[in-house]
Amino acid sequence: MDSHRDPSLTTRELVEGLVSLAAAPPRTVDDELRADAVAHLCELDPATVSRECERYALQLTKSVWSGGWQPIELVRQVRRTTDARTSQLALLVIGADHARRRAADLDARWAHQLDDLAIPRMESAGGWLAGWAEREPANWADAVRSAVTLLRCLASLTRLPFLIPPPGTNAGADTPIDLSARTSDPILERVRALLAQAESTTFEAEAEAFTAKAQELMTRHAIDVAMVSARADRAETPVSIRVPIDDPYFDAKALLLHYVAQSSRCRSVIHDRYAMSTVIGYAGDIAATEVLFTSLLVQAQAAMQATASAAPAGARARSRSFRSAFLTAYAHRIGARLAEINAGVIADADAGRSILPVLAARSAAVDTAVDEMFGELSRSRARRGYDPAGWASGHLAADRAQLTSGDLTRGDTAAERASNPVPLAELTGD
């Protein structure tokens, strides 16, 4: 960039152009040119630079909301991809955006997210960057770099399906169904309580009983709800949620969610770039997916940690490839087990009730909702670790995961099975 300033440009125009250049999405601007723009911004009038960064940040935030993002998702993405100071700025820009909104323009779920994030209250939408820069121990150049980093993050976000109406949207037209009803079912509340007890107890046999009862309740209750809804000719339609899936081993965890959603008559669509999945299905089935996925993930992580703790320092069970293979094998085996269980439960429930056409109709409605929300989707294979010991160990852990009450009648308790682990040499043939 020429270091000589064009005399025809005002300071504001120059700053506007430099901010736009510095904040351009990745791979759209040469890195050297971007760094040069940031350096020039650090030399210009701080007040003008602050005002332009604030204006551009609010403009981008409005675009992000119009692109289907929610406050909690935006903050998570900034934290995933930047640093602590930039994450602080994200909270401030959301607070500045909120300052120019009327309470009546916010969906209740949107307002609840702002409260959960502890978004700072602001009297106006301006002045927040300069105030933050004064409070921070870092120098002005570091503040400019943080602001530009936030702008680049905002500018790089692609559209997501709408799940909550953004600020100012007419909630009466073409907006998602309120999902609050999915938490009011007493059976599903009981399932959540059982799984919470299973995850908190230190007695494996007790955890086994809690988890088995929860799974039995979920499966049979979902069928009962489907039948009642069909007989009453209710106009129930599929709804959607987005589930954050944190690294490490995102692929394997997303695969587990896919199989759990499938077993609950839902569909999951992975947003690999943002480390989350959209789950589409009927409200009760989505609730079942959430609780079962969480419980199985907790069981997998506990089993993986137990395997690593029992292994000597430097052993394969502590390696990243082992853990990746472990979780991927676990997900595949859980999927197979859930398919077997569903087939048995549905066959038992179908006697004299004609449940199969009802479930088929609901599945078709979910497929239609997915098509309308995403259009044509591409399929991809999950990346996996190829450690044979990890694969065999994950497969074994999935066999031990408690899914049905039938697991309680095999004659050996979870504690007994855990006390007799299969040596890695037997799993690998070493």
Q: In the prediction, which pLDDT does 361 show?
A: 83
Q: Kindly list the distances between the CA atom of residue 49 and the CA atoms of 37, 44, 72, in Å, as whole numbers in the listed order.
A: 12, 7, 28
Portion of the chain with pLDDT greater than 90, in percent: 38
Question: Checking DSSP bridges between strand 239-244 and strand 276-281, what pairing results, if any?
Answer: antiparallel
pLDDT, tens digit, 9 for 90 and up, residues 3-45: 445 556 788 999 999 999 999 987 788 889 999 999 999 999 9
Highest-scoring range by mean pLDDT, 73-77, 139-143, 376-380: 73-77
Asked if residues 276 and 242 have their Cβ atoms less than 8 Å apart, the reply is yes
3-class state of residue 269 by DSSP: strand
Helix or strand holding residue 267 (H, E): strand 267-271
* Strands of the sheet with 239-244, listed across from one edge: 239-244, 276-281, 267-271
Higher-confidence residue of 145 and 203: namely 145
Higher-confidence residue of 397 and 183: namely 397
When mean pLDDT is compared across 259-273, 286-300, 323-337, 351-365, the lowest value belongs to 351-365
Asked if residues 277 and 245 have their Cβ atoms less than 8 Å apart, the reply is yes
Q: In the prediction, which pLDDT does 159 show?
A: 94
Q: Quote the mean pLDDT of the chain.
A: 79
Mean of pLDDT values over 143-153: 95
Is the pLDDT confidence value at 394 over 70? no
Q: In the prediction, which pLDDT does 210 show?
A: 73
Residue 343, burial from CB neighbour count under 10 angstroms (0-12, 13-18, 19+) = exposed
DSSP of 8-38: TS-HHHHHHHHHHHHTSPTTSS-HHHHHHHH
Neighbours of 167 (CB within 10 A): 18
| Residue 356 to residue 132: CA distance in whole angstroms | 60
Neighbours of 180 (CB within 10 A): 10
pLDDT, tens digit, 9 for 90 and up, residues 90-135: 999 999 999 988 888 889 899 999 999 999 988 888 889 988 988 8
Portion of the chain with pLDDT greater than 70, in percent: 72
Q: Pick from 214, 210, 212: which is nearest to 187 by CA?
A: 214
3-class state of residue 392 by DSSP: helix
pLDDT, tens digit, 9 for 90 and up, residues 158-199: 999 999 999 877 544 444 444 444 445 677 777 777 777 766
| Residue 298 to residue 214: CA distance in whole angstroms | 15
Q: pLDDT-derived band of residue 421, with 50, 70 and 90 as boundaries?
A: very low
| Residue 283 to residue 183: CA distance in whole angstroms | 9
Q: Kindly list the distances between the CA atom of residue 305 and the CA atoms of 267, 300, 317, 366, 397, in Å, as whole numbers in the listed order.
A: 30, 8, 9, 36, 11
| Residue 326 to residue 385: CA distance in whole angstroms | 8
Tokens (6 digits) for 23: 């904040």
pTM: 0.78
Mean of pLDDT values over 294-322: 74
Q: In the prediction, which pLDDT does 150 show?
A: 97
Asked if residues 281 and 368 have their Cβ atoms less than 8 Å apart, the reply is no
Question: Checking DSSP bridges between strand 239-244 and strand 267-271, what pairing results, if any?
Answer: unpaired
| Residue 343 to residue 363: CA distance in whole angstroms | 15
pLDDT, tens digit, 9 for 90 and up, residues 46-67: 999 999 999 999 999 999 999 9
Asked if residues 276 and 245 have their Cβ atoms less than 8 Å apart, the reply is yes
pLDDT, tens digit, 9 for 90 and up, residues 174-185: 444 444 444 456
